Structure 1
Amino acid sequence: MFLTEVKTGRTYDNNELLKFDALAMKPSWANPCLTGYEVKVSRSDFMQDQKWPGYMAYCNKFSFVCPKGLIQKEELPEEVGLIWYYPDTGALRTIRPAKHRLVEIPSDIYQYMLMSRIDPDRHPFFGSRREMLEAYVEDRVNRKSLGKEVGSKLANELYEARKQLDENQWEYNNLKSESELMGTVRTVLAEYGIRIYKYNDWQSQIRQRMTTGVNPQMIKLLNEVTENAEKLKMMVEPKEDAI
C-alpha cells in the first residue's frame, strides 16, 4: 500500500505532529515494513529541515527523494536511503538503499493510514476527490482510445488471417482435385498397359501410343517375336558348307 501525505497522528492538540510526503507498507504479516519518503526539491529546503530525524521512529526504512545531485549520500546517516529523480527521463535511481531497522511503530500511524484509506473524500494517491475523479475520467478516455486502437488492429489482423486461411483452403482444394485427377489418369493409362512410375520412361510410352495407336507392350512383344523368328529361321536353314 502506498499513501501520500501521511500524518503521524491526530492533528488536534499535537505539537509534535509530522507528515510523511509518502509512506509505503509491505503487505506481510511475518515481516511488516513501513518505508517513509521525504521529497526535497531545493537545496535550501534540505539544509533548513531539522525535523526529518523524527520520521525515523515511525518507519522501518527511510529515504530522501530529490532531483539528481541535489543531495549526496555522504550527507546522510548510513541507515538513510537516497533516491535521485532524473527530470530528463522521468526515471528514479536508488543511489543508496535504506537499511531496515527494528522499530516499534506507534499505533497512531496505522490508525491514520486506515482512516485515510476508508475516507470517502480522499484517495491515497490524490490530494482530493476532485483530483481522483479528473484522473478517473482521463483514464476512461485513454482506455476508450486505446480500446479503439487495439480493436482496429485486431480486426485488421483477423481479416488478414481469414484471407490467408481462404487462400490456403483454395490451394488445398486445388491440390486435392489435381491429385484425384492424377489418380484417374493413372488408372486409365494402366488399362492400356502404360504404368507411371518414377523411374520408368512412361512419357515415351504415351507419345508412342498416341502416334501409332498401338499398345507399347504389344510393339515390344512383336519386336521380340520378330527377333526370335529370325533366330529360328537361321537355325533351320541349311548352311552352304553343309551342302
Structure 2
Amino acid sequence: MKVKVRADMIKRALSKRHHEDFFLTEVKTGPTHYGADLHIIDALAIKKSWANPCITAYEIKVDRSDFTRDEKWMAYLQYCHQFAFVCPKGLIQPEELPDEVGLVYYKPETGSLFTMRKPSYRQVTIPSNMLMYIIMSRLDNERHPFFSSQREYIEAYLQDKDERKEIGERFGIKVTEEIGKLRRELERLSDRKEKLQRLKEVSDILREYGIWIDGWGTSWKEELRKALANGLDPRIESELQYLLKRADVIKKMLDERNAEQCSTA
C-alpha cells in the first residue's frame, strides 16, 4: 500500500535530523499584525554555536501543484543562512531550483531523509523581528509541534487511524487464510500418517509369516505376489489385498509431498 506523505511526517523526520539543534515548525517572521509582510516558515533549525551560527529554513512540499504555484518562498531567504526544499522523493528535481537552494528527499517507506543537494551558506543578518518572535512565543514546548493547527493534527490522527484499521483488516484476512492453509495441510498429513501406520501394521504381520518386504527393490509387488501364490494364512489375506490396492496411492502421495518440499526449499 502506497503511503500518503503528509507535512507532519516530514517535520518529524527533520526534528530527528536536528535533534542537537533548536528545531521549530510554523515559524512566523514577525508579529501577526505585519499582514502581507508576514511569512510563516514551515520548519527552522538553529545551530547551537556562537562561533558558527547557522539558521536553516525548510519549505515542505507534498504536492506537485503546490510547488509550481508557490511564488512566496524567495522571501524566506532573508530569514536564514541556508534554505532548502523538503519533499517526497522525486517530487522536485534539483534543476528546478536555484543553485544556492538545497533539496532534501523524504522516503516514506523508512521515514528517513536524503540530501539530494546541500544548500549554500549565505552570510546574512537575520531580522530581529523573527528572533524576537521565537523568544516571545516559542520558548515553551508546543502541544502539537508538527502541525500548523489543531484541525490539521486531528485530520492527521484520523487518517492514521483509518490507515491502521485498513492494515489491521488486511493482516487479519491474511492470517485467517494462512491458518486455513495450515489446517488443511494438517488434515492431509494426519490422513497420510494413518495410512502409513496401517502399512506398517501390515508389514509387521507379514514378518510374522516370514515375508520381509523391506529388503525388496522396485519389484517388491511381484515378489509379494509370488509369496502370496505359495499360500498365506487367510487372517492377513484381506489386509494384503488392501495393501496392494493402496500402495500406489501412498507412493503417489509421498512423491507429491517430496515435490512440495523441494519447491519450498
TM-score normalized by the length of structure 1: 0.52
Report 1:219-230 matches (<5 A): none
The 1-side partners of 2:82 and 2:143 are apart by 29
Residue-pair matches, total: 180
**Is there any run of 5+ residues in structure 2 with no aligned partner, and where?**
1-22, 60-66, 87-91, 104-114, 234-265
Structure with greater Cα Rg: 1
Give the match's secondary structure for 2:171. helix
Corresponding residue for 2:26? Answer: 4
Query: How far 1:153 sits from its partner (Å)?
Result: 0.9
Give the match's secondary structure for 1:118. coil
Corresponding residue for 2:55? Answer: 34
Is the 1:195–1:202 Cα contact (8 Å) retained in structure 2? no
The 2-side partners of 1:102 and 1:150 are apart by 48
Indicate which of 128, 137, 140 corresponds to 1:118.
140
Corresponding residue for 1:87? Answer: none
Query: How far 1:187 sits from its partner (Å)?
Result: 1.4
Q: 2:134 is matched by which residue type in structure 1? A: M
Considering only aligned residues, what root-mean-square deviation do their CA atoms show, in Å? 4.8
Indicate which of 31, 36, 44 corresponds to 1:24.
44
Corresponding residue for 1:140? Answer: 157
Compared CA separation, residues 142 and 191, structure 1 to 2 (3 A): same
Q: 2:208 is matched by which residue type in structure 1? A: E
Is the 2:102–2:120 Cα contact (8 Å) retained in structure 1? no
TM-score normalized by the length of structure 2: 0.48
Query: How far 1:157 sits from its partner (Å)?
Result: 0.7
Query: How far 1:156 sits from its partner (Å)?
Result: 0.8
The 1-side partners of 2:157 and 2:76 are apart by 39
**Is there any run of 5+ residues in structure 1 with no aligned partner, and where?**
84-93, 127-131, 216-243
The 2-side partners of 1:121 and 1:193 are apart by 87
Q: 2:121 is matched by which residue type in structure 1? A: H
Compared CA separation, residues 26 and 180, structure 1 to 2 (3 A): farther
Give the match's secondary structure for 1:194. coil
Could you say which structure has the greater relative contact order, defined with CA pairs below 8 angstroms and 6 or more residues apart? 2
Corresponding residue for 1:223? Answer: none
Identity %: 23
Query: How far 1:159 sits from its partner (Å)?
Result: 0.8
Query: How far 1:199 sits from its partner (Å)?
Result: 1.7
Q: 1:142 is matched by which residue type in structure 2? A: Q
Q: 1:34 is matched by which residue type in structure 2? A: I
Is the 1:24–1:35 Cα contact (8 Å) retained in structure 2? yes
